[in-house]
Amino acid sequence: MVYKVQPDDDLVPTYGSRAMSQAIPRNSLPDDGVNPRTAYQLIHDELMLDGNARLNLATFVTTWMEPEAERLMAEAFDKNLIDRDEYPQTAEFETRCVNMLARLFNTPEDDDAVGTSTAGSSEAVMLAGMALEWRWRARQEAAGVTASRPNLVLGANVQVVWEKFCRYWNVEPRYIPIRENCYVSTPAQVLERIDNNTIGVVTTLGTTFTGEFDPVEAIHDAVVEDNSRQGRAVPLHVDAASGGFVAPFIHPDLRWDFRLPNVVSINVSGHKYGLVYPGVGWALWRGREYLPDDLVFHVNYLGGDLPTFTLNFSRSANPVVGQYYNFLRLGHSGYTRIMTALNRVATDLSSRIAQLGPFELLSDGSAIPVFAFRLKDSSRYSVYDISRQLRIHGWQVPAYNLPADAGHIDVLRIVVKEGFSRDMADMLMNHLTQAVRMLEDAPPGSPSVGDSGFHHG
């Protein structure tokens, strides 16, 4: 369709302009533009169909920040994080954040912790995984054996980024299946899969599927003992994408981090419980020796010597500014108060859901404020029907099935985040109760029941 634009007169009412009564260009660059007010309104209106991020209980990613943080982040949109010489103060904030996190994760005093900000945990995982592989390769070469078939031991409950890491870098994944009533890995299952080609063991602090913690310390101790028995040096990486900003505040005695001597690297998402809008993660190594030198590049074309270990180059500085704002604004006590409140809202909501009757909890939200639940009987309606019913009220509560060997279990999951209050939980509870009542009253085979779908409403 040919679309001709007349320059809009400033006096034309917004919805009186030509662009508002014609189809807009969708797939090819228009010949001419429209005025900023019209462009804003058109796009703003289309985005209304996205739904409300605050009702999105599916995502782990931050959907609310304080107005002061938003203002600071907007002020930093134009800064490229990689230009450390041009923006030394922004670079300084990144370094401060790395240091604060290293201490939060109990890096040994005498070690010089290293780390970097990333686009998210996915990039951090790629970097940490590469470091594991490089160090394994060096160990193999030092021992005079071939380093050609690396493998990684990990739970079937890992986030998809680990599958990507293995595929992209040609590392054999050795998955530990989960099963009914045990949705995390056990030390024995880990040891069964380790051999001389194992580059590392991945444990998850806050699994994507149920929000539970892998028993990191027990797995760590078993691997350490196995290493000394077998004369190996297999290290652990902890994927603390979500749990890294929860455990230090509400489970301070849980030993999962650099307090465990064979944990060599940790990733955490600043944009999950670090409470920053999308765009920031962190990778941390126990010390310099755990980050092989030849993975770090030095560039000088921005002025000065710039060590870089990231997959991408240019990136907005604003999420790092947002992260530093949160650290300064909240401090240890502020994060503790928020995580305590989220824990209370999540465990209270999960117990009320359990009491409702038809549901059974797989987890209760006490590890991180995330829990999953299933239907005791799904012969008349499914968790997918429940999810669709909640969507009518705007709530996004995902329904999905678990990974192997628990693939027959369909669950719903709720991620409680900052901005989700007890009052909102009450409203959700009302809608969930209504949905159950409606589905139970609907005669079997009626259009609102079953996978044929509920398409009206």
Ligand X SMILES: *Cc1c(COP(=O)(O)O)cnc(C)c1O
Residues that bind ligand X (CB under 6 A): 60, 120-122, 159, 161, 204, 208, 239, 241-242, 269, 281
Q: In this structure, are residues 282 and 335 in contact, taking their beta carbons and an 8 Å threshold?
A: no
- 269 three-class SS: strand
Nearer to ligand X among residue 161 and residue 199 (C-beta): 161
The count of other CB atoms within 10 Å of the CB of residue 367 is 25
Nearest to 92 by CA among 102, 105, 104, 81: 81
Closest distance to ligand X from the beta carbon of 323 (Å): 13
Nearer to ligand X among residue 158 and residue 222 (C-beta): 158
Measured distance CA(314)–CA(317) in Å, rounded: 9
Closest distance to ligand X from the beta carbon of 238 (Å): 10
Closest distance to ligand X from the beta carbon of 129 (Å): 12
Residue for token digits 């944009």?
A: 271
Nearer to ligand X among residue 245 and residue 454 (C-beta): 245
Q: What are phi and psi of 238, to 5 degrees?
A: -110, 120
Nearer to ligand X among residue 8 and residue 123 (C-beta): 123
Closest distance to ligand X from the beta carbon of 169 (Å): 16
Nearer to ligand X among residue 281 and residue 292 (C-beta): 281
Closest distance to ligand X from the beta carbon of 212 (Å): 11
DSSP per residue, 295-334: G-EEE-TTSS-EEE--S----BSHHHHHHHHHHHHHHHHH
Give the 3-state DSSP-derived string for 373-400, with helices as H, strands as E and coil as C.
EEECCCCCCCHHHHHHHHHHCCCECCEE
Closest distance to ligand X from the beta carbon of 155 (Å): 10
Nearer to ligand X among residue 120 and residue 129 (C-beta): 120
Nearer to ligand X among residue 268 and residue 390 (C-beta): 268
Angle between helical axes of 88-104 and 318-355 (0-180°, round to 10) = 40
DSSP per residue, 406-452: -TT-EEEEEE--TT--HHHHHHHHHHHHHHHHHHHHSPTTSTTSSTT
The residues near 78 (Cβ < 8 Å, ≥ 6 apart) are none
Q: In this structure, are residues 318 and 73 in contact, taking their beta carbons and an 8 Å threshold?
A: yes
Measured distance CA(351)–CA(247) in Å, rounded: 21
Closest distance to ligand X from the beta carbon of 280 (Å): 8
192: its two tokens: 């069964």
Closest distance to ligand X from the beta carbon of 24 (Å): 32
Nearer to ligand X among residue 177 and residue 358 (C-beta): 177
The residues near 296 (Cβ < 8 Å, ≥ 6 apart) are 307, 308, 309
Q: Tell how strand 399-401 and strand 370-375 pair up.
A: unpaired
Closest distance to ligand X from the beta carbon of 208 (Å): 5
Torsion angle defined by CA atoms of residues 160, 162, 166 and 171, in that order, rounded to the nearest 10 degrees = -150
Nearer to ligand X among residue 322 and residue 435 (C-beta): 322
